[in-house]
Structure 1
Amino acid sequence: MLQNRVNPSGEIIRTPYRGTWLGNRGVLHNGKQEIVRFYKIKAWITCALVFRGRHRKVMQPNRWTELFFFDEATAFSAGHRPCFQCRYEDHQRFKTYWLKGNPEYGFDLKTPVAEIDNILHQERMNTHKTKVTYQEKFTDLPDGTFVIIQDQPYLLKNSQLHLWTPAGYNKGILLPDLHQVKVLTPKSIVNMFRAGYVPQMGISITTTIK
């Protein structure tokens, strides 16, 4: 079992459950298919599993490491964004809504996406390579956002919280009586959700976990 699934905190874990999206952070593995670094490049992208009939053998020597996500909301929480090549329309939608949700940076459609990657990199990890979080009011958070409750990742959707697991989401629970909560999803991504980008969330296609 390879270590190649990514959880909402951006950690690369081992699990028998497969993902629905492909991810890339550069070459992270060695010749024994072991993860030896957390990332290699700042452009963390989310790709389609199928693109123009191309096939890849997972974790080839000196080739970028194939990572996998349960759904797009998980990928965004980890700090990834849509690929320009295999997800061109999603990438353009991402950039449009990211700019709309984050006008304080003064970027426009001509701004290289690398500038956005630099901001995402600051928002997803600190100098100790641990996940950056921040505090926010529950009532101000849009659907698709991940939060931490009792050290567990929950997805917010339709005013309910759904516990994330490698196999899917638990049945939703009502929002707890908390004024503020720790947010996992990068702040500029949350702003993008507020602006109108709706991420793919795997709740409707998963079996409820007891």
Structure 2
Amino acid sequence: MSQQKPPLQNRVDPWGVLHAVQARGTLMGNRGILHDDQNRIVRHWAGKAWLSCVLNPPFEQKRSPFSQGTYSELFFLDEATAFAAGHRPCRSCQRGRYDAFKAGWAAAHAASNPSADAPTWLPIAAIDAVLHAERIGPDRRKRTHPSALAGLPDGTFYAAEGEAWLVWRGQSLRWTFDGYQRADAPPAGDEVAVLTPPSIVTLLRSGFRPSVHPTANLYN
């Protein structure tokens, strides 16, 4: 009897950290080539374009994860998790979602900072640069952003006592690799450490809604 191969270190949590667990999630992602010829993670990103992709892109049906010379496949529970980690939709396999994200980004940021100089269109490289600055701190670790819990829009993640919590439909749901759980969130105090980059929080506040794992809707 053949033994099951151990999982690759490519499951992403809301901090953007890579783990080796069996749960696959509902989205794939890409930060460039992160693995070596032994399928070990040797870097945590290779460029500022961090993407979220459909699980099985039609043009890559025959790929094996961590093939040599190609990008390292990452996996997310859902789009809200990918946003918290600092990823945005891929243009190639999620063109409709990519277009909606880019248009929503421009509109939301123009509305939040009205001026004659506010751009109505940005090249995606400029958006990627903003996201990279918001997700990675000077120590090359996840950057969090303080904010009052009250008023955070649906789809936002925050951290409390070492766990990640999703704001969704008036409540906080605890994140796991397998889905969301209803639990008593720790007292938040005046502010929380927000994991979702501020520019994406601005987008969510404008009404843009991320897709979430089905378990998020079991408690409403």
Q: Which residue of 2 aligns with 1:83?
A: 90
The verdict on how the C-alpha distance between 1:207 and 1:191 changes in structure 2, with shifts beyond 3 A counting, is closer
- Structure 2, unpaired ranges of 5+: 1-6
Q: Structure 1 stretch 159-168 or stretch 3-12: which is displaced more?
A: 159-168
- Which residue identity is paired with 2:14? P
Match status 1:34 vs 2:45: no
The verdict on how the C-alpha distance between 1:196 and 1:17 changes in structure 2, with shifts beyond 3 A counting, is same
> SS of the residue aligned with 1:138?
coil
Q: Which residue of 2 aligns with 1:135?
A: 146
Structure 1 residue 54, shift from structure 2 partner? 2.8
Instruction: Specify which of 191, 196, 209 is matched with residue 207 of structure 2.
Output: 196
- Which residue identity is paired with 1:47? C
Structure 1 residue 206, shift from structure 2 partner? 8.2
Q: Is the 8 A contact 1:76 1:189 kept in 2?
A: yes
Match status 1:107 vs 2:135: no
- Decide which structure has the larger Cα Rg and report it: 2
Q: Is the 8 A contact 2:84 2:196 kept in 1?
A: yes
- The C-alpha deviation readout for 1:146-205, integer Å capped at 9, x for no partner, is 001112110110111111111111125478462211100000000000112100111447
- Which residue identity is paired with 1:180? E
- Give percent identity, aligned residues only: 38
- The C-alpha deviation readout for 1:124-165, integer Å capped at 9, x for no partner, is 011211111111111220010000111211011011111111
CA distance in 2, matches of 1:150, 1:180: 13
Q: Structure 1 stretch 146-155 or stretch 69-78: which is displaced more?
A: 146-155
The CA RMSD measured in Å over matched residues stands at 1.9
TM-score, normalisation: structure 2: 0.88
Q: Which residue of 2 aligns with 1:98?
A: 105
Structure 1 residue 120, shift from structure 2 partner? 0.2
Match status 1:72 vs 2:76: no
Q: Is the 8 A contact 1:159 1:174 kept in 2?
A: no
- Which residue identity is paired with 1:171? R
- The C-alpha deviation readout for 1:1-27, integer Å capped at 9, x for no partner, is 210100000001111111210100000
The verdict on how the C-alpha distance between 1:67 and 1:137 changes in structure 2, with shifts beyond 3 A counting, is same
Q: Structure 1 stretch 73-82 or stretch 178-187: which is displaced more?
A: 178-187
- Which residue identity is paired with 2:23? Y
**What pairs with 1:138-157 in structure 2 (closer than 5 Å)?**
138-157=149-168
Instruction: Specify which of 170, 179, 193 is matched with residue 182 of structure 1.
Output: 193
Aligned length, in residue pairs = 207
Q: Which residue of 1 aligns with 2:69?
A: 62
TM-score, normalisation: structure 1: 0.92
- Which residue identity is paired with 1:76? F
Q: Is the 8 A contact 2:23 2:178 kept in 1?
A: yes
Q: Structure 1 stretch 95-104 or stretch 14-23: which is displaced more?
A: 95-104
CA distance in 2, matches of 1:71, 1:163: 14
- Which residue identity is paired with 2:20? R
> SS of the residue aligned with 1:99?
helix
Q: Is the 8 A contact 2:173 2:216 kept in 1?
A: no
- Structure 1, unpaired ranges of 5+: none
